[in-house]
A and B are shown apart, each in its own frame.
Chain A
Amino acid sequence: MEFISQHPVLVVSLVKIALTLFVVMTALAYLTWFERKVVARMQSRWGPYYVGAHGLLQPLADGVKFLFKEDVTPPSSDIVTYLLAPFLALVLALTAIALIPIGPPDVTVLGQPVFAVSNVSIGLIFLFSITSLGVYGVALAGWSSNSKYPLMGGLRSSAQMISYEVSLTLSVVGVLLLAGTLNLSDIVSGPNGQTGYWLHFIPKWNVFPQIVGFLCYITAAIAETNRVPFDLPEAETELVAGFHTEYSSFKFAMFFMAEYANMITVSCLATILFFGGWLSPFGGGEWEKFIPVLIFGALAVYCLYDIATELQSIIHKLQFTIVVGLFLALAAVCFFFPQYAMPPFWFILKIGIFMFFYVWARGTLPRFRYDQLMSFGWKLLLPVSLANLVVTAVVWLVMHP
């Protein structure tokens, strides 16, 4: 006990890290489920259904499958880099998340802020520098497999990432001008952050003044994460599976998780930069805690209805009762500890919307051709984001003489 009181920094940090890792890993797993479900609905299918109620245990099954598959290492591959690549990818992806604050910095336990693993003064730049290293994972994977398609995939992805990183960074600078800081939590709730309202009802989120920047950002972000419609590095129709063709079992899983972790990261960043992070759109009154309570309550009710009517097997019913309990627990937490629960609630809600957007894009959009990709990135996206930056700067100067 007194160890805790003596080293609050160490303890709280460790706890935070562990918690984040656990949450993120779970989220990654269930994102796959979410994605498959949504895409299935778009294609009017059921999606995973039988492994667990509504396929709730599907991710678990996948994990097990990945773990116990045979791990093939191509003999002609460059072994060191071949092993290094997936680790690099996943580690960097997870590290990036550690910089994301999901709540106000002034909420503390033992005098330590709880809502961010580390609150760096120039968090944004660090975030970008870490994500910029993400290229290595893909590129090295492509090169070290020492076979045609992965090499092409690696080449494509590195070129693509370099190209879109520029626009990504530029599109954010506009927000930086408005916020006047590089610290992520200051960007949200700093002196000239995103708290407050225009005309008393439009929340002061950067997305409204920076709509162009936001569009550039989200486009570049999708490209950075190699998602549809920019998933050329793993275009199965052309390159089998692109850079991770030669990867099997858990190494492949690492790439997989890295990709989803990156998605989460960029979504978090988008939320923080453009959508007021953890701020609620209603000004954060005391009554707001009823919103999540109602939502979770409704979900619980729906699950109960499901148990009653839909689900046949007793196991499924049991599982769903657990889910119901979970929802009720969440509702309770939101009701009794709003100051700890509300910010993450809004934050995660927003991220959820972004995730849905990702899946939606995947479900609807066709893939670019490579030259289209490049010319789009360099000839459209870059100039637009530059123009946005210039305009923002000029307007800012005019408004702050």
Chain B
Amino acid sequence: MIAPLIVFFACAILAVLGAILLIIVREPIHSALSLVVVMVSLAILYLLLGAPFVAAVQILVYAGAIMVLFVFVIMLLNAGEEERTDWSKIAKWIGLPLGFVLLLEIAHWLFHSEPGTAVANGVAAPPPASTFALSTALFRQYLLPFEATSILILIAILGALVLARKDQ
């Protein structure tokens, strides 16, 4: 079956295109949409990687909540096209090239990091991660960090409230 490979490359190309689109478009909401595209394609990749639950959560939380929040704020502030000011010379002349350098570096490094034979899919692949096993790990082994994140969320909510209040 060649199907997984096709799916992978389709999603990969889609994701990269989305990322590039995020950079080049000027309308913030378009950037948001392209980011959603990236996320959805990543979710499909997760499915391919045998992590359906993570894929679902990726869409549910990332695309469905966080990005909606972004869109909402953009609409609320009615953010128009961004003006391409270049007040930071260093960002213009050094930052961008270096960014690309970093891109190449990481890609190159990661590409060679694992011996290319590691099976990620196909016949010999392990079965997809069951939700049960996942939850067991999350609530037994990683209980403390889990609780910590819950506290983090709480604090974040409070912080958001305090920050966004007008009458200060």
Contact = CB atoms under 8 A, between A and B. Distances in A.
A132 B57 contact: no
A331 to B, nearest CB: 41
B76 A155 contact: yes
Interface stretch (B9-17, B65-73, B84-92, B115-123): B65-73
Most buried by A among B29, B53, B56, B71: B56
A159 B68 CA distance: 9
Contacts of B22: none
A81 B29 contact: yes
Contact of B65 (A121, A143, A151, A162): A162
B53 A129 contact: no
B152 interface: no
B80 to A, nearest CB: 11
Given A151-B75, A158-B75, A125 B68 contact: no
B131 A122 contact: yes
A139 B60 contact: no
B53 A143 contact: no
A103 interface: no
A120 B29 contact: no
A78 B27 contact: yes
Nearest to B76: A155
B75 A162 contact: no
A133 B72 contact: no
Contact of B56 (A81, A84, A122, A158): A122
Contacts of A120: 52
A142 B74 CA distance: 12
B22 to A, nearest CB: 15
A216 B74 CA distance: 30
9 contacts: A78-B29, A80-B30, A84-B33, A122-B53, A129-B60, A133-B59, A139-B75, A155-B72, A158-B75
Interface of B: 27, 29-30, 33, 36, 52-53, 56-57, 59-60, 63-65, 68-69, 71-72, 74-76, 78, 131
Q: Which 7 A-B pairs have the closest CB atoms?
A: A132-B64, A129-B59, A129-B60, A125-B56, A158-B72, A129-B56, A135-B68
